[in-house]
Structure 1
């Protein structure tokens, strides 16, 4: 047999072996993918457990209803992004994260919005969070529930959406003041903040102390200074006063009766 013919036969055998090996690998891959697909579509992947995490205000059952998850349905038939979108439609839920935990569990982790202040409006009390999102509207108000923001002017509101006030500049100043107050010990002392006059914001404590804040510029300074003043007054058991902080660099404390005279 000629050398060239022998070389040709050897190449044909090698090519046949390679072809056979590739075919075997492809067959194995197809079989494996088919097996995985069958497994993922089988009853073994049917939803059995729904785990809710991070909720304190919204009931777990309510979150499950929002998710539209159904027990015994295959967990791969759900669009997790759509579920997350449906869950955050609840005004008290800011963020949601939905994950599959094989083989039969879906977890829902939520981050809730917190009630921050209350705005009275036409006989109702509108609960908002620190981003001015309307969380709830109630017909009743408990005095020590949350800080009352009065003097806000707007035509209407919608639960789950941000308030659009006609005096939104004053509302923004109030929210900045409250954020600054939360860094001190006086946040729990504040009963009401009035913005009827944007240039003369008025704060009232639960003890009846009136605080005139002017335009509310430099919220951090105002709240730290007010904190020191109130601590000093309360140690001396002084309550019936008006604190005037309208003028930068000048703070005065006067007896209410003298002020009103």
Structure 2
């Protein structure tokens, strides 16, 4: 009985190994091809685009800003490019777009909020809470926003942020106020950052002083107006620590009856 030599046994192993390698590569190729074909199939076509966080935009407007559309393969959608397109609009502060496999795209939107107006060249500029130039208006009949005076926007245009310390101070005061308090503000003047003044729609003057302790000053202001003085305040000084100084409007003297 012939016994195979050790040399012959050693020669057979490399062939088997090569065959296994070829088989493995073939199966990897077939699997990759199948995955590729599957990913290109209609199963991954975008059938729905959801929008979250939109208050000032309609859903259709938000989708149009991104350039996304239904029917597109979800993996071919360039989400980063879509985000970059959307934030070009001044009212869009931030946008995050994610895939929700297999067929849905979700747009999470953070809008800017109009907080005040700044006069410029005979018009008014709508400013956001983060100091962004939103739009230009010339008719204030349908706009209930406080006017910020004492600043110059320079050459700023729509969508640009204004890096101005006075503007930031005014916005800090306005954003610290609850909405119902802010709605009663007619003007805030920051021409002198050591003598910041606010005027209400009832023509009362509020003297804030500097830009320190903004939160404390707003709380003091709330405490005073909650006393329901019925528009009798001429001015209020809360620029110093301690109790606010309140000056009331002197009642008009009635004419003495003629004898």
| TM class by smaller structure | 0.7 to 0.9
**Aligned-partner Cα distance in 2 for 1:38–1:187:** 58
Q: Does 1:207 align with 2:206?
A: no
Sort the Cα spacing of 1:254 and 1:79 in 2 relative to 1 into closer, same or farther, 3 A: same
Q: Is the Cα contact below 8 Å between 2:233 and 2:246 reproduced in 1?
A: no
User: Alignment partner of 2:136: what SS?
Assistant: strand
Sort the Cα spacing of 1:159 and 1:32 in 2 relative to 1 into closer, same or farther, 3 A: same
- CA displacement 1:21-50 (0-9 Å, x = unmatched): 222121111111112222323454333332
Question: 1:58: how far off?
Answer: 1.7
Partner of 1:9: 8
Q: Does 1:175 align with 2:171?
A: yes
Higher share in helix: 1
**Aligned-partner Cα distance in 1 for 2:180–2:138:** 30
**Aligned-partner Cα distance in 2 for 1:193–1:147:** 7
Deviates more, 1:25-34 or 1:62-71: 62-71
Question: 1:85: how far off?
Answer: 0.7
Structure 2 spans left out of the alignment, 5+ residues? 252-259
Q: Is the Cα contact below 8 Å between 2:144 and 2:183 reproduced in 1?
A: no
Partner of 2:188: 193
Give the TM-score normalised by structure 1.
0.82
**Aligned-partner Cα distance in 2 for 1:56–1:142:** 22
**Aligned-partner Cα distance in 2 for 1:252–1:229:** 10
Q: Does 1:229 align with 2:228?
A: no
**Correspondence list, 1:1-261, <5 A:** 6-142=5-141, 145-164=144-163, 168-182=164-178, 186-232=181-227, 234=228, 236-249=229-242, 251-256=244-249
**Aligned-partner Cα distance in 1 for 2:191–2:142:** 20
**Aligned-partner Cα distance in 1 for 2:231–2:75:** 66
**Aligned-partner Cα distance in 2 for 1:66–1:8:** 73
**Aligned-partner Cα distance in 1 for 2:243–2:93:** 41
**Aligned-partner Cα distance in 1 for 2:142–2:72:** 48
User: Alignment partner of 1:83: what SS?
Assistant: helix
Structure 1 spans left out of the alignment, 5+ residues? none
Deviates more, 1:17-26 or 1:77-86: 17-26
Q: Is the Cα contact below 8 Å between 2:96 and 2:109 reproduced in 1?
A: yes
Q: Is the Cα contact below 8 Å between 1:144 and 1:191 reproduced in 2?
A: no
- The root-mean-square deviation of aligned C-alpha atoms, in Å, is 2.8
